[in-house]
Amino acid sequence: MKLGEKIPLLDHGYIQYIEHYGSDERIIEAARMSTGKGFLGWGPTHAPNCGYVGMPDDPQRSCTCGGKTTPGDEKLLRFLYENKHATPFEMAGIVIEVQAPIFVFREWHRHRTQSYNEMSARYTPLPDVNYVPTIDRLLVNSKTDKQAGTLKGSEELTEEGAAAFQEFVRIQYASAEVGYQHALKIGVPKELARVHLPVGRYSRMRASANLRNWMAFMTLRSAEAAQWEIRQYSLTLGSEIIHPLFPRTWELFQGSL
């Protein structure tokens, strides 16, 4: 997928790259402030116009032009990452746009090192777009996180039960919308006409953070204990946006999960 396109998530959500700053190289440059050197180069050798045999991070990789192989800066990047020298990773960042249900935003906004601008139901009527979990999703009995799972003593969810819940949710959403539109029409202020709207309704925001804090976000929200819905956003952010922009940092992050 091309960077900048809306990447669909859940039934009506998306995540979209807006812009970024920094790079794996810039992170090295910032870290080298401590010793006064700059970015030296990746790979086992940095001779220009020289072919390589082997993958970029293969320690056995050799240079086909016979030049002296020198240690590459990927070693420093790894050292920074593994020893939690986190500040150089603040010298890069990403701005994204996200459409997600309100209950996902509720979890997201606990990350206090990000910057947010969100659609506001005080200022504009929220579009009638709402989240309905799929049958498959409903049937996943969260074994990885008992706390978030089913109520103690409840029955085992059947496919019919899941379908009935979907149907109930759709009706509840529909009646909420009818009442919302009517309230707005008869003059209930926007900020009050919304009190009965569900936390499954979609909202939209811009979010900005530096790379260190996006990784902190992903550490929590890509984890198995995270709610499946926000996990989709977190995993997609990683693989579709952070991976192409910061390939070496991404590799280190994945190795640490």
Site for its own copies contains 150 (CB under 8 A):
yes
Q: Which of 131, 96, 87 is nearest to 18 (CA)?
A: 96
| Cβ proximity of 253 and 215 under 8 Å | yes
Using DSSP's 3-state secondary structure scheme, residue 136 falls into helix
User: Measured from the CB of residue 53, what is the shortest distance to its own copies in angstroms?
Assistant: 32
Of 41, 52, 161, 254, the one binding its own copies (CB under 8 A) is 161
Q: Which is nearer to its own copies, 227 or 239 (CB)?
A: 227
Of 173, 202, 233, 250, the one binding its own copies (CB under 8 A) is 173
Using DSSP's 3-state secondary structure scheme, residue 121 falls into coil
What end-to-end distance do the CA atoms of the chain give, in Å? 25
CA distance 253 to 238: 9
Distances (CA, A) of 175 to 168, 171, 193: 11, 6, 13
| Binding residues for its own copies, total number by CB under 8 A | 94
Of 101, 246, 248, 253, the one binding its own copies (CB under 8 A) is 101
Q: Which stretch binds its own copies (CB under 8 A): 1-9, 56-64, 193-201, 242-250?
A: 193-201
What is the phi/psi pair of residue 203, to 5°?
-130, 180
Contact pattern from residue 198 through residue 227 relative to its own copies, giving x for each residue in contact according to CB under 8 A and a dash for the rest: xxx---xxx-x-x----------------x
CA distance 25 to 212: 15
Among positions 38-77, residues that touch its own copies (CB under 8 A) are: none
Site for its own copies contains 175 (CB under 8 A):
yes
- Helix (H) or strand (E) holding 117, with range, is strand 115-118
Of 1, 6, 21, 255, the one binding its own copies (CB under 8 A) is 21
Site for its own copies contains 149 (CB under 8 A):
yes
Q: Which stretch binds its own copies (CB under 8 A): 45-53, 61-69, 176-184, 237-245?
A: 176-184
